[in-house]
Amino acid sequence: MLDYDLHCHSTVSDGTLAPVELVAYAASRGVKVLSLTDHDDLDGLAAARAAAAQHGIRFIDGVEISVTWREDVTIHIVGLNIDPAYAPLAQGLIDGRRGRVERAHRMADSLAAAGIGGAFEGAMRFVGNPEFIGRTHFARFLVETGHAKDIGSVFKHFLVKGKPGFVEHEWTTLAEAVEWIIGSGGVAVLAHPGRYTMGRKPLSRKAMRDLLAEFTELGGRAIEVVSGSHTPQQCAEAAHLAQEFGLLASAGSDFHGPGESYRDMGRLPDLPVGCRPVWEAWEGGAASSGAVAVAGSA
Ligand code: AMP
Ligand code: MN
Ligand code: MN
Ligand code: MN
């Protein structure tokens, strides 16, 4: 089992625990190396880092950036070991999330047209950061008001393409997201590759390979292989893609809060055999410099 967890969310984006509570929770779950990767926002990192020091956890500054690829495919790029003080990253994220409130009003209008009123105000009651409102907050409102039994079923009947509450939105470009991460000294990671859709269908194998070719060309260096939202088969497929494209492998729960996550924090399964862990990039393994591996250098 891994004691790394390099993907999770706090109230700064769409998690339910404040950064300090999240770190305490991670410690209670045996996590030794943690990255907080809130969507499009760096505000939780300082508090989480301080809390991690108190718990004896190694903390890696992170972020998860929402990206639009090829007109209308939404993908997520995680940045690990970034520098939160790097101005182009911080400013790019501010610009990228600026449209969220306007988008939320359009989502509420779409729900109202389907007979569900008060969704904007209802979702706002779950928001912890006035700059960040997302689909998860609407999902909590829809569960609270009895329109769905849990968060997972919300994303089958609402908020996804073709269903009430879904609206198109244009996020940051792939090139910008990767550039900001690399510019800040971080490692760009393609998050949960098993979860992407084009229209209402999973991304085709061809589209996934095109995406990875573009991502590596831009300087992307890793892919999430172990993810709380992957099935064992999706994990194996991601491991294959890592090898095919020469990418490092990352691991994270994508935890959003007790009781509503794909998977609890920590205690993630080991990376499949043959994967090179993404933490080589900052722990001084052969991958960090791109140098030829030297026996005993790790
Ligand atoms: P947004 O960035 O506002 O479009 O919201 C995306 C978030 O919705 C993701 O980060 C997840 O937290 C949540 N989400 C999307 N699909 C699902 C799903 N099938 N089950 C649970 N949560 C989901
Ligand atoms: Mn989320
Ligand atoms: Mn994601
Ligand atoms: Mn996430």
3-state SS, one letter per residue, for 262-280: CCCCCCECCCCCCCCECCH
Q: Which residue's C-alpha comes closest to atom 4 of ligand 1?
A: 135
Beta-bridge partner residues of 187: 80
For position 296, what pLDDT does the model report?
A: 38
- Atom of ligand 1 at shortest range from CA of 103: 3
257-269: pLDDT as tens digits = 998 888 999 889 9
Q: How far apart are CA 287 and CA 284, in angstroms?
A: 7
Neighbours of 144 (CB within 10 A): 13
Residue 134 beta carbon below 6 angstroms from any ligand 1 atom: yes
Element (H, E) at 66: strand 58-69
Q: Which fold would CATH assign to domain 4-97+170-293?
A: TIM Barrel (3.20.20)
The whole-model pTM stands at 0.95
For position 262, what pLDDT does the model report?
A: 83
Q: Which residue's C-alpha comes closest to atom 14 of ligand 1?
A: 136
How remote is the CA of residue 147 from the centroid of ligand 4, in Å?
24
For position 200, what pLDDT does the model report?
A: 85
For position 297, what pLDDT does the model report?
A: 39
Residue 41 beta carbon below 6 angstroms from any ligand 1 atom: no
H-helix segments, the chain: 19-28, 45-55, 87-97, 100-113, 119-124, 135-144, 151-157, 174-183, 205-218, 232-245, 280-283
Q: Which residue's C-alpha comes closest to atom 11 of ligand 1?
A: 136
- Residues of the chain predicted below pLDDT 70: 285-298
Q: How far apart are CA 21 and CA 16, in angstroms?
A: 9
* Residues carrying CATH 1.10.150.650, the chain: 101-157
How remote is the CA of residue 68 from the centroid of ligand 4, in Å?
16
223-281: pLDDT as tens digits = 999 999 999 999 999 999 999 999 999 999 999 999 888 899 988 999 999 999 999 99
Tokens of 259: 């009781």
Residue 257 beta carbon below 6 angstroms from any ligand 1 atom: no
| Cβ–Cβ < 8 Å for 127, 133 | yes
* Residues carrying CATH 3.20.20.140, the chain: 4-97+170-293
Q: Which fold would CATH assign to domain 101-157?
A: DNA polymerase; domain 1 (1.10.150)
